[in-house]
Amino acid sequence: MAMAMAIDDAPELDFSAYSTSPTTTTTTTTDDEYGCNWNDWSPVVDWNALSGGQDDFQDLIESMIDESGLQPARSGVNYQEGSNSPSTDTTMFTDEEASRDDSKGLRLVHLLMAAAEALTGVNKCHELARVILVRLKELVSPTDGTNMERLAAHFTEALQGLLEGAGGGHGKHLISSGPQRDDHHHHHQTDVLAAFQLMQDLSPYVKFGHFTANQAILEAVTQHRRVHIVDYDIMEGIQWASLMQALVSRKDGPPSPHLRITALSRGGNGRRSIGTIQETGRRLTAFAASIGQPFSFHQCRLDSDETFRPSSLKLVRGEALIFNCMLHLPHFCYRAPESVASFLSGAKTLNPRLVTLVEEELGPIGDQGFVSRFIDSLHHYSALYDSLEAGFPMQCRARALVERVFLGPRIVGSLARIYRTCGDKEGGSWREWLGATGFRPVDISFANHCQAKLLLGLFNDGYRVEELASNRLVLGWKSRRLLSASIWTSPFDSDSSIS
Amino acid sequence: MFPRLIQSHEGLLGPDDFVGVGVVGGGGGGGGGNPGHRGDPCLVLTSDPKPRLRWTTDLHERFVDAVTQLGGASKATPKAIMRTMNVKGLTLFHLKSHLQKYRLGKQSGKDGADAPKDGLSGSYLLENPGSGNSTPSLPSSDLNEISGFGRNYEVKEALRAQMEMQSKLHLQVEAEKHLQIRQDAERRYMAMLERACKMLADQFIGSAIIDTENQKCQAYGVKMPRNLSIDPLGFYSHEVTAVHGTEDEVPPNLHSQRGDCSTESCLTSHESPRILALEESPAGGKKRAMGIDSTSAPLIWSEAKLKIRDVAVPQVSPHGLTGFGM
């Protein structure tokens, strides 16, 4: 059962911003500017797997510190400590550059905040915002520098987009590829695939959502012979491979249940998935055949405004109906809230056995304006960047690809969404929406929770899973919550007859 | 409550998983009526019924001897116990769970009696409901003499928690197996996806259609796409260097398809159409000689590399194809 990546005899590295070794200054929540506590234990990584033997280790670290482009774990949090006590902060690192990075990181954050403020604050001034963004662009690059710098570059770009969009109408058009966006976001398919595979290897992010949802589905359909899953955004259908395998090997209940998947398809081509839905369908069918899983695939067209109409679904009596809503995929396109809402409320009318929802976990929204949500977003992606780096500090180019292909565009999308919805109450999370609409929570089983812990155990120690509600598992990196998987069932006492 | 109850290599059930163990009224959701393998009633994730091992007094005594020999419950590891006991057919799985229970029994207030009485064989009290009042470490007769309903209840709760822990342990083992299987399935699917993607990319290259990131066609067909300067596969470096090594001989657009070259077969199976398309390449003669049917079985990349380098007129013989033309 030796699945953990940690090795006990790895030398303790003090290069992480949130190490708790005595020389650090991090302690209690110092700067509550970002309201989170970054003083967790530094990640212990299976270095032997990644680099040479233990002997090369020190050299490795030296070279990392020396090499300009590869600052070790200069997380986005450094600015937090820098703001406290720059002098004591330098005791943390023996390296001059390190403290320079810290203050640079801090400067970047300040600039970003100022730009955000100028864009949307009480004293809105687009000109000022423009100037600040220009300055920012001089300082950062999306491919070089520390985590913070690369992150800042993407945020700068996002703000730039908002600025330009703000001039002529709301920002929605920025998200689907406008002409300017095309160059950036039209990625070669192999890039997208490569980045996706890397992301799968580097972090449990995608798998966590998929596996948690699948386990819940498996548990809900044990006694059913027919299972029908309506997938909001099937993308490449990766989620379903492991579900099919599990269905084929299940020991309880009727063997070889028939699986039917209906994928919602959209008219436009704002998607960044690899290939079309038809291709996904073919691939899933082939995979199912290869493992002997009875399977059929259907499409259901959404309206042009991406509204889901329950009547357009074909249903079969006695099947277990599942609505699957994964909103966390890295190459997930922005979906208008109205579309998601139509999907979920449509689900309600059909009395489904289960609704599985995975979404990004945001900080508390409340009545906060753009700037604070902007900062929250900065926090969020900073944690993401850090989580990728902590696990794989040497694979900076791999990470850069993932950042370029996925995280960058996502940042742009997130900010655009925040921009659009700040001030509205609709900034809340979908799970809150589900609860409010009347869906009933379904408990996360011990086995499901177990699986999640096991999964995280395959990656860096910094990941953790929390059960924040009986029906909700949350993936977090250090003290930052990243992803929420929640399970629901129909509001009505369903008596789905089992065929 | 029992911080060292689970050793790190078991690792996954933490102290927080055992709410209320040993506390009156704490009790978990397992319930007394559940057979050892099942946890929550609504749970699906159960395994094939494992053949249960009956822990007879004899066997248990051996176990205790072995444990004592090895220095006590906390020092002894299942593996060591297995060796020491030297009982045929005894597996680590049996030992692990038995050891857990033993440790728990020791901690929940035994009175120095190591060996359980007969009533505690099997999966602890499920097969012998009559002894349901005892902890594994207390002789039942002693317990019955302890006055007070409260004490009995406390003990029952401890037992219930213990059973729950056993089932959880089992679930954990199952979960691990399942996770492995599911991940494998996902990997297979990703491989399918990858192949499809490469086929697609390949067609583009073959017909010299460039995406917007590549500027123009050259003699080799395609200018190196921008993304190549990033080596996303520093992670898979050995594959990358293999390719780079032959860069002078193999058209650079070979790289462009390598979103992820962890699958050698994908890499090489796409070599061919491109090669076919390259009529004008300087090394075209050599390449054309490599004309491999695109539908051929995949080459081993290193083999191909050898052929390119070393053989002027390669008799490429992957799986029975002739080297020349088609």
Give me the sign of the Cα torsion angle B146, B147, B150, B156: positive
Strand partners, A484: A359, A474
What is the pLDDT, as a whole number, of residue B246?
39
What is the pLDDT, as a whole number, of residue B57?
78
What is the pLDDT, as a whole number, of residue A356?
96
Contacts of B163 (CB under 8 A, 6+ apart): B30, B32, B34, B36, B123, B124, B125, B126
Res. B118: pLDDT tops 70: no
Res. A311: pLDDT tops 50: yes
- CB burial class (10 A; 0-12, 13-18, 19+) of residue B208? middle
- Whether residues A2 and B9 touch (CB distance < 8 A) is answered with yes
- What residue type is B183 in one-letter code? Q
Report residue B304's pLDDT band, with 50, 70 and 90 as the boundaries.
very low
Rounded mean pLDDT, B93-116: 67
A452 CB within 8 Å of a chain B CB: no
Count of other CB atoms within 10 angstroms of residue B96: 21
- CB burial class (10 A; 0-12, 13-18, 19+) of residue A52? exposed
Which residues of chain A neighbour B79 with C-beta distances below 8 Å? none
How many CA within 13 A on the CB side of residue B83? 6
Nearest to B40 among A189, A200, A445 (CB): A445
Residue showing tokens 């565009």: A409
What is the pLDDT, as a whole number, of residue A472?
95
Please give the residue that has the higher pLDDT: either A384 or B235.
A384
**DSSP output for B210-271:** --TTS----TTSSPPPGGGGS-TTGGGHHHHHHHHHTTTTS-THHHHT-S-TT-HHHHHHTH
Region for B306 from its dihedrals, namely left if φ exceeds 0, alpha if ψ lies in -120 to 50, beta otherwise: alpha
Res. B310: pLDDT tops 60: no
Please give the residue that has the higher pLDDT: either A491 or B315.
A491
Which among A227-231, A398-402, B267-271 has the top mean pLDDT?
Answer: A227-231
ipTM of the complex: 0.74
A179 CB within 8 Å of a chain B CB: no
How many CA within 13 A on the CB side of residue B21? 22
Disruptive mutation site among A7, A45, A193 for chain B (greatest number of B CBs within 10 Å)? A193
A454 CB within 8 Å of a chain B CB: yes
Residue showing tokens 């359909």: A221
Angle between helices A205-220 and A189-202 (to 10 degrees): 80
Which residues of chain B neighbour A222 with C-beta distances below 8 Å? 44
Rounded mean pLDDT, A220-243: 94
pLDDT per position as a tens digit, A48-105: 444 444 444 444 444 444 443 334 444 444 344 333 334 444 444 456 766 777 788 8
Q: What percent of chain B has pLDDT over 90?
A: 10
**DSSP output for A211-274:** HHHHHHHHHHTTT-SEEEEEES--TT-HHHHHHHHHHHT--SSSSS-EEEEEEEE-SS----SS
Q: How far is A376 from chain B (nearest CA, A)?
A: 29
- Whether residues A392 and B186 touch (CB distance < 8 A) is answered with no
Report residue A187's pLDDT band, with 50, 70 and 90 as the boundaries.
low
Q: How far is B167 from chain A (nearest CA, A)?
A: 10
- Whether residues A197 and B212 touch (CB distance < 8 A) is answered with no
Residue showing tokens 């002693």: B142
What is the pLDDT, as a whole number, of residue A494?
56
Res. A463: pLDDT tops 90: yes
Q: What percent of chain A has pLDDT over 90?
A: 30
**DSSP output for A312-328:** GS---TTPEEEEEEE--
Res. B34: pLDDT tops 80: no
Rounded mean pLDDT, B225-248: 39
Across all residues in chain B, what is the average pLDDT?
57
Which residues of chain A neighbour B175 with C-beta distances below 8 Å? 447, 450-451, 454
pTM above 0.80, yes or no: no
Q: How far is A156 from chain B (nearest CA, A)?
A: 22
- Whether residues B176 and A242 touch (CB distance < 8 A) is answered with no
Q: How far apart are CA A136 and CA B223, in angstroms?
A: 33
Region for B319 from its dihedrals, namely left if φ exceeds 0, alpha if ψ lies in -120 to 50, beta otherwise: left
